[in-house]
Structure 1
Amino acid sequence: MKKILVSACLLGQKVRYDEGDVPCLDPRFLKWHDEGRLIPICPEVVGGLPIPRPDAQRQGDKVVTGAGVDVTAEFEKGAQAALRLANEHQVALVILKQDSPSCGTLFIYDGTFTDTKVPGEGVTTELLRKHGYQVFGEDQLDEVEKELARIDG
């Protein structure tokens, strides 16, 4: 059975910057969890950032907090850890949290801390895609389901 790398917050783990979670309750996601397919990671925590932590956003190739602290190194370290985990488990695809500076797949915040989203991808998503992984957001489960059906044959 093919494995799926997922954002830990989607599994209800309280790893977000605000100590929150955003559990994905879609029946398909829960079924994949019950089947043992899901491999969780929070790139930001694995990269060395605490819970809670200051909100951060991408500004070009950098990731900075609202106070201007550069946390790019931690985000890159977390992205590398996600890539290692994906390779280790030979995951078929990836489901990450939309809008996150690590995990966003279609949109991220624009770096102005004004709650403005723009087309873009997080640091982890970018690295995984560069290495050939298909990365989806939690709101793209229709596409995930189709891809799993194709892969599982």
Structure 2
Amino acid sequence: MTDEVAQSRPDSPRLTSRGLTLLLVGLATLPIVIVGILYVTLPATSSKPLAVDVKIDRDANPPALVIHNQDDCDWSNLSVSINGAFYHYYKHALPQGKELSLPVTAFLRRSGLPFDPAAVEINDVNVAARRVSGHRATRDISFEQGQDP
């Protein structure tokens, strides 16, 4: 090796201060543009909560959640969760004024473990559905310990 200082090649690209400024402005603007595009393209949600009545039918074997559509329109894409851990998706429409009875054993954890009514108490239920207008609405219902709705 020689003691010569390595010379930069004259044809290598260099980042100027103007180029660096434009790059940083672009990086700062990109998330704002993406959020704006998502805001415009994704369907709106309804601020009006879902008009639903949820009861636990403990006389059924196995116990069941009875979901009553009290809304002024039909629902589709009904998603119900128990205690935020056990989920059930109902793909059929639930007409206005009708009830749906779901056995609690139909609710599964994400790992596939079914709900066990003998071991787990139902504390809260979340119901989410898509209205005819396309808006998605949800409702959280909490049950007191030992409360029998």
Please confirm whether the aligned pair reaches a TM-score higher than 0.5, indicating the same fold.
Answer: no
Greater Rg over alpha carbons, structure: 2
| TM-score class, shorter | under 0.3
Using structure 1 for the length normalisation, give the TM-score: 0.26
Higher share of residues assigned strand? 2
Using structure 2 for the length normalisation, give the TM-score: 0.26
